[in-house]
Amino acid sequence: MKIYFKGAAGTVTGSKHLLETEQGLKILLDCGLYQGKESGAGRENRHFGFDPQTVDMVFLSHAHIDHSGLLPRLVKEGFKGKIYCTEPTRALCEIMLADSAHIQQADFSYQSKKSISQEDSEPLYTIDDVVKTIDLFEPLAYDEWIILHDDITVMFTYVGHILGSACVNLRVREGKKTHRIAYTGDIGRTNQQIIKGSEPFPQAEVILCESTYGNRVHDDQTMSEKKLLEVVQETCVENKGKLIIPSFSLGRTQEIVHTLDRLESAGKLPSIKVFVDSPLSTNATDIVRSFPEHFNERILKYMEKDAQPFGFSGLHYIRDVKYSKMLNQLKEPCIIISASGMAEAGRIVHHLANNIEDKRNTILFIGYCEPSTLGGRLRDGAQKVQIFGHDHDVKAKVVVMDSYSAHGDYQEMIEYLSCQQPHLIKHLFLVHGRNDVQQEFKGHLDQAGFHHISIPKKGDVVELS
Ligand SMILES: [Zn+2]
């Protein structure tokens, strides 16, 4: 069997790993979009480096766009197989991919007008391609080995990253051999606010493991409620300012809303309005609400007293752009949670432009931002930024809280892998991480007793014995 590393190799976006057996069976693990501006993402997204028509099936680890966002392009270029994932991932992909199609269309119109790139004469994909893609989704249950093909058996196991996320455990027969492969997708933190945590996965010989925070130790999650309350108090009560929170629609938005919900229930939240200003975040929250069977014990216990863990008096979800614009006129202190998390696009950019020059306000980052993005520059302490072509002095306070990360740190990832017997692992491939981070992670893994670790580059092919 060969593994072709086609994306998220030495980078954190564009996850795509292709398995090919001697019999010619081709299995794709994830089909993510390249994001960010500096990586030549536009070109990368138009060239798979393999023929989509020859791929037999896809296993999708979770709904984040950097793992799922090129599926409609795969279908547009002739893929006709099944896309296997969990039920929540299918539900979330319906809204995530539709939103992505909308962005592709908008980007294409903008580029056409500016004649920046004429490489392709049409958008990456459209909503029609998304509809065809969703038809190919085949949801499978967690924790059950399922025979899909004479030579392929799969089991999804909880990995605690976002709703629906799974480790893909595969048994692939090739002649007399059976390859035992595990693809972690993204690994969550140990104590998630909402979803079930990760669980041990069956022993594998070949592991493809993410490595986003392979060099980091995150803040303690148990402190996040206290820290958030401190930021709210200082900004909204003492300074009478606005708290602006750029947040990924899926995962972190629900976590931060739920934390505020807990604070409100405990009578600790000051009496201020909270706005979730994003149609996608609002829709994602509706979907998360509809899958309580994947919630953890802590939130289920909380829901015995408060049936609405993402809703409290003072909280408003905004879909309509008209109401979003009205927030600009609001004079009173408030909290605005909006997407995108890296502050590159979406309504959050307008809120930053309107609030960044007022020293009473705070901008709170609760997730990873690519260094090249507006969020990344603000996180790095920029004193001046350009927004919509205008210079802005950064007078608002910028606060970073990484305890809300949906990715485990290196200790949590090693803990996740500790269910494996290291001497039985023949290959441990580190994917989905920056190269310098992966080198550090490799060192930590080595110390923890894991060997045969490699860091593939994009385009590498490895033959498994
Ligand atoms: Zn993810």
pLDDT, tens digit, for every residue of 395-447?
A: 999 999 988 888 999 999 999 999 999 999 999 999 999 899 999 999 999 99
Cα(217) to ligand 1 centroid in Å equals 18
Cα(187) to ligand 1 centroid in Å equals 8
**Backbone angles phi and psi of 301, in degrees to 5:** -65, -45
Confidence grade of residue 199 (pLDDT, cut at 50, 70, 90): very high
Confidence grade of residue 205 (pLDDT, cut at 50, 70, 90): very high
Cα(162) to ligand 1 centroid in Å equals 7
> Do 316 and 273 touch, CB atoms closer than 8 A?
yes
Confidence grade of residue 120 (pLDDT, cut at 50, 70, 90): low
Cα(95) to ligand 1 centroid in Å equals 16
The per-residue pLDDT for 210 is 97
Average pLDDT over residues 60-75: 96
What pTM, to 2 d.p., does this model score? 0.93
Query: For all residues of the chain together, what is the average pLDDT?
Result: 93
Average pLDDT over residues 41-66: 93
Cα(69) to ligand 1 centroid in Å equals 11
Confidence grade of residue 465 (pLDDT, cut at 50, 70, 90): confident
Identify residues whose C-beta is under 5 A from ligand 1, the ion: 64, 186
Residue carrying the six token digits 């057996």: 21
Cα(132) to ligand 1 centroid in Å equals 23
Cα(411) to ligand 1 centroid in Å equals 18
Cα(165) to ligand 1 centroid in Å equals 8
pLDDT digits (tens, 9 = 90+) for 72-115: 999 999 999 999 999 999 999 999 999 999 988 887 776 666 65
Cα(379) to ligand 1 centroid in Å equals 20
Q: How far apart are CA 410 and CA 445, in angstroms?
A: 9
Q: How far apart are CA 101 and CA 119, in angstroms?
A: 18
Cα(112) to ligand 1 centroid in Å equals 31
The per-residue pLDDT for 110 is 67
